[in-house]
Structure 1
């Protein structure tokens, strides 16, 4: 069965298969859009233009030009080099035993640190912080107090800082938050930025991320490590075989 011809440009028959093959080169998320008649027509027009310009290049003897031949030679060198380098690292495998060994030997990489979620109000003086704390005790919502009084940009979110682990906040703030009771207003706590009122919203204990959740990540990392080792070793081997003379840059 012959292919359906959608157009003829400069004597070249453009088939439906040629259009579909080009669409297959698009990312998967774009291929859905490209299946519409309007999008297919756009692709067809691109192919038509391609063949028209190719015919123009032939008529103007561009393939016979020095620039064309130099570019082809450069592309051939790059393609051959790429294919040779790919042949060195392709086929490298990592066994599950290696993945598990890496997981067990690097526990710190797969440990979820303890976290605290907190809201805060930042003001310049201790007296101001005490006055605001009294207003909150008398019924003013912590979030409203943050929007009204806090000098921190987080005031727009009611003072919400989200979750953070140790080492992300200044020491005085961090100590108060990690040791504080959930739901209780803490402070004033003085830091280099001023005085804080803090309310701990939630706490997450540290945990170990299961192997199955990070198996793919470990696999890719080990593959890349092996590929680099093999690649670097091959470069050294080829330097010895073919010679390299490095000049001062």
Structure 2
């Protein structure tokens, strides 16, 4: 162990830089962001030292031999053993390539590329202004993109109103209905939503299409594993229920 890695020693316990980084990396993202700095590291290290001090005190006072501690450890052991037993059943699942292909062929409807669209829009507060802008665009007095920069209230205005590519369920219903029914390249009449009045220009639209197996192989595998693990869990549960028949379930309503 190098001196650079050595941060603290409490009894026989040594805390290294690697231990500190591991503790920080184990935090939730927002907590990690809070402590991933020099001051945060000092606070985490101090907490690690404090924990070791309490551990030394517990050993010295033989807390590990107290009845309550032993009972708690038995409960922890029982819960861990239950989960371990379940995981053993799930881990035994093996999947061959031919099973994956068969599952894909039998469940092709699960593996599709959704319908998507690319669109631009201009958002204004009133219908009269929307109609005025629509007329100017149709008369080619101004381009759709320039009109978006000049008139639109949406932050997309500086990109010419471009909203990028999106699928169904990502926009408010009235906007979505217009986007997925308008001809590509045609400017819509004003469409009212909770945000105001939109002029919409659909620049591209792709229809729903079937995925190729090679493109979704990992998704197929995950779906098949989940299915087989669920089946294995139920089957094992049936065996155990039959084996340990003396199960008493009390319905409190009947008491």
Specify if TM > 0.5: yes
Q: Report how far residue 53 of structure 1 moved.
A: 2.3
Q: Report how far residue 102 of structure 1 moved.
A: 1.7
Number of aligned residue pairs: 228
1:79 aligns with 2:84: no
Aligned pairs for 1:143-158 (under 5 A) are: 143-146=145-148, 149=151, 155-158=154-157
Residues 174-205 of structure 1: CA deviation (Å, up to 9, x unaligned):
4642xx142x4x23266677865321222334
Q: Is the 8 A contact 2:179 2:202 kept in 1?
A: no
Q: Report how far residue 165 of structure 1 moved.
A: 4.6
Compared CA separation, residues 148 and 40, structure 1 to 2 (3 A)? closer
Aligned pairs for 1:88-107 (under 5 A) are: 88-107=89-108
Residues 50-87 of structure 1: CA deviation (Å, up to 9, x unaligned):
44322200222311323211111101211222222222
State the alpha-carbon separation in 2 of the partners of residues 231 and 139 from structure 1: 67
Decide which of 245, 248, 255 is 1:245's aligned counterpart.
248
State the alpha-carbon separation in 1 of the partners of residues 119 and 129 from structure 2: 20
Cα RMSD of the aligned pairs, angstroms, is 3.9
State the alpha-carbon separation in 2 of the partners of residues 134 and 204 from structure 1: 28
Q: Is the 8 A contact 1:118 1:161 kept in 2?
A: yes
State TM-score, norm by structure 1: 0.70
State the alpha-carbon separation in 2 of the partners of residues 82 and 181 from structure 1: 54
Aligned pairs for 1:1-249 (under 5 A) are: 6=6, 8-10=9-11, 12=12, 14=14, 48-121=49-122, 124-125=126-127, 128-136=129-137, 137-146=139-148, 149=151, 155-158=154-157, 159-165=161-167, 169-170=173-174, 173-174=178-179, 176-177=181-182, 180-182=183-185, 184=186, 186-188=187-189, 196-242=198-244, 243-248=246-251
State TM-score, norm by structure 2: 0.69
Equivalent position of 2:32 in the other structure: none
Compared CA separation, residues 176 and 238, structure 1 to 2 (3 A)? closer
Where 2:202 maps in the other structure, the secondary structure is strand
Unaligned runs of 5+ in 2: 30-38
